[in-house]
Amino acid sequence: MLKVLLVDDEPFILQGIKVLVDFNEEGYEVYTAENGQEALDIMETVDMDLVISDIKMPVMDGLELMKRVRDAGNDVYFAIISGYAEFSYAQEALRYECTDYILKPVESDSLLKILRKVAAMKADKAQEKNNNRKMEKAYFDQNLHLVLRGKGTENNIEYLTKQIEDDSQLCYVGIELAPELDSSEVSDDEKKNYLEKLYNVTVDYLKDYSRYIIRDGFGEERIYDIGVLFMRKMAVDHQMSDREYLTELLNQLKRISNLPIVMLVGKMVTGIEAVSKSYTSVYMLHSLQGFREKKDIYFYEEEYQITDNGILLCKTQLDALIEAIELNEPVQIRQRVDEFHEEMQKTGITGKTMNLNINYLLFQLIHIASQQDSEVNQEEILRLISENTFEDGIRRGSKKHLYLMACEYGNYLAQLRKNVSKGVLAEVEDEVRKNYASNITLKELSEKYFVNSAYLGQLFRKKHGCSFKDYLNKHRIDQAAGLLRKTDLKIYQIAEQVGYKDVDYFVNKFIEAKGCTPAKYRKQEQ
Cα gap 402→321, rounded to integer Å: 11
Residue 515, burial from CB neighbour count under 10 angstroms (0-12, 13-18, 19+) = exposed
Q: Is the pLDDT reported for residue 220 higher than 50? A: yes
Q: Do residues 345 and 399 lie in contact, with contact meaning Cβ atoms separated by under 8 Å?
A: no
Cα gap 263→258, rounded to integer Å: 15
Q: Is the pLDDT reported for residue 491 higher than 80? A: yes
Mean pLDDT of 27-43: 94
59-92, pLDDT tens digit by residue? Answer: 998 888 988 998 888 889 998 887 755 666 666 6
Name the average pLDDT for the chain. Answer: 86
pLDDT value, residue 451: 77
Cα gap 106→104, rounded to integer Å: 5
pLDDT value, residue 308: 42
Q: Is the pLDDT reported for residue 159 higher than 90? A: yes
161-207, pLDDT tens digit by residue? Answer: 999 988 789 999 999 998 777 655 677 888 889 999 999 999 999 98
Secondary-structure class of domain 421-525 per CATH = mainly alpha
Confidence of residue 247 (pLDDT cuts 50, 70, 90): very high
Q: Which long-range contacts (CB under 8 A, 24 or more apart) does 492-498 make?
A: 494/518, 497/437, 498/436, 498/437
Confidence of residue 385 (pLDDT cuts 50, 70, 90): confident
Cα gap 415→383, rounded to integer Å: 17
Of 427, 456, 429, 462, nearest to 443 (Cα)?
456
Over 63-120, what HEC string results? HHHHHHHHHCCCCCEEEEEECHHHHHHHHHHHHCCCCEEEECCCCHHHHHHHHHHHHH
pLDDT value, residue 174: 95
Mean pLDDT of 390-419: 81
Q: Is the pLDDT reported for residue 249 higher than 80? A: yes
Q: Is the pLDDT reported for residue 56 higher than 60? A: yes
- Rounded to an integer, what is the distance from CA 316 to the centroid of its chain? 43
- 33-42, 331-340, 377-386, range with the lowest pLDDT: 377-386
- 59-63, 73-77, 418-422, 457-461, range with the lowest pLDDT: 418-422
pLDDT value, residue 419: 67
Report the percent of the chain where pLDDT is more than 70.
Answer: 91
Q: For the chain, give the number of residues.
A: 526
Confidence of residue 363 (pLDDT cuts 50, 70, 90): confident
Q: Do residues 457 and 467 lie in contact, with contact meaning Cβ atoms separated by under 8 Å?
A: yes
pLDDT value, residue 36: 92
pLDDT value, residue 298: 92
Over 410-434, what HEC string results? HHHHHHHHHCCHHHHHHHHHHHHHH
Strand order in the sheet with 261-265: 213-215, 225-231, 170-177, 261-265, 297-299
Report the percent of the chain where pLDDT is more than 90.
Answer: 44
3-class DSSP state for residue 46?
coil
* Beta strands in 281-421, from DSSP E residues, in sequence order: 297-299
281-318, pLDDT tens digit by residue? Answer: 898 788 777 777 778 999 988 876 544 455 567 888 88
CATH 3.40.50.20 fits 2-124, yes or no: no
Cα gap 288→383, rounded to integer Å: 6
126-153, pLDDT tens digit by residue? Answer: 899 888 888 998 999 999 999 998 888 9
pLDDT value, residue 123: 92
Confidence of residue 22 (pLDDT cuts 50, 70, 90): very high
3-class DSSP state for residue 439?
coil
Helix (H) or strand (E) holding 174: strand 170-177
CATH 3.30.70.270 fits 164-303, yes or no: yes
pLDDT value, residue 311: 53
